[in-house]
Every structure is written in C-alpha cells, then in structure tokens.
Amino acid sequence: MSKPIIRYLRFHCPSPTAIPQPNRDGALAVAAINEDAQLAQMLVVDMRRWDRNNGASVREALGVLVYAAHRRLVAGFGISLADTLIVEWDGEDAFFRMRVEGEAAQRGPDDAPACVTRRGEHGGRSAYLAWARPTGEAMLGKVDAVVGGVWAGVEG
C-alpha cells in the first residue's frame, strides 16, 4: 500500500453562504488521498481557535466549505465525495464525522463524534490520533505547520 498524498488549503468564508475564498485564513482543509484504494480523508479545521478567522465558522459554512475543499483537494484524483471520510475539528477541540447528502454537509444525525474517549466523551486530539493513526498524525502535522507559519510544501 502506498503512502497517502497530503494536501491542504486555507479558505475564508465571509458569511455562511458566501463562496469560499482560497489561500486566506478562516478554515483549513487537509486531505489525505490514497490513490490505490481510491479513498480519501479530509479534516476541516476552524482557525478561530488560533484567532485566524474573522468570517463564518466552519460549522456555519459547512455546506460551502466541504464542497469547495473536496473540489480543490480531492476530486482531481477521481475520488468522489461519497468515498471521502470527512471530519470536522470544532472550536471546542472535538472531532466530528460529517455526512454529505446532496447539497447538505452536516454532522451525523446523533452528533456522533469521530472518536470518543473510553468514558464515551467526545474525543480531542489524542482520541482522534488513536482512531486515525498514522494518517491522522500526518494530517495534524500539516495543521500544526500551517498554524505555526511553516509552509511545508505547496497549498492545494
């Protein structure tokens, strides 16, 4: 099995329904593409936690962000949105699986976290890493690099 390709892009949504503007702070999408399996994972992160989002939050703009991020980061590899596992990292340090139905991207019907602690609570970074390792480590490494101002590689 080949190593996944990691791509990322920053987006800014001035309002929840506005077209996302690439290469501006607001939300960060990181995708891990496995070409051999024709599958992808995408982590959508609200940069508000680092005071780098003055527009709509990721939760408010999911409907436009998920499609824009998938189109720019994943679709070029021939991987459909249905074959992409999407996780939102919200401002409260919890990770949620997203579901996409037609035009709507939203959290699961029961607000199902992507990972939980042993006590059944919403999991934070360590629980996500336990669930998504090793690809999750590479994706969070890219988040850390972008937040820290280290521009490793080329966006999008």
Residue 130 DSSP code: H
Judge residue 55's burial from the number of C-beta atoms within 10 Å of its C-beta, 0-12 exposed, 13-18 middle, 19 or more buried: buried
Backbone angles phi, psi at 110, to 5 degrees: -110, 20
Contact 129, 140 (CB under 8 A): yes
| Full-model pTM | 0.82
pLDDT digits over 10-55, tens only? 888 888 888 888 888 888 999 999 998 899 999 988 888 788 888 8
Rounded distance between C-alpha atoms, residue 52 and residue 30, angstroms = 16
Reported as a pLDDT band with limits 50, 70 and 90, residue 123 is low
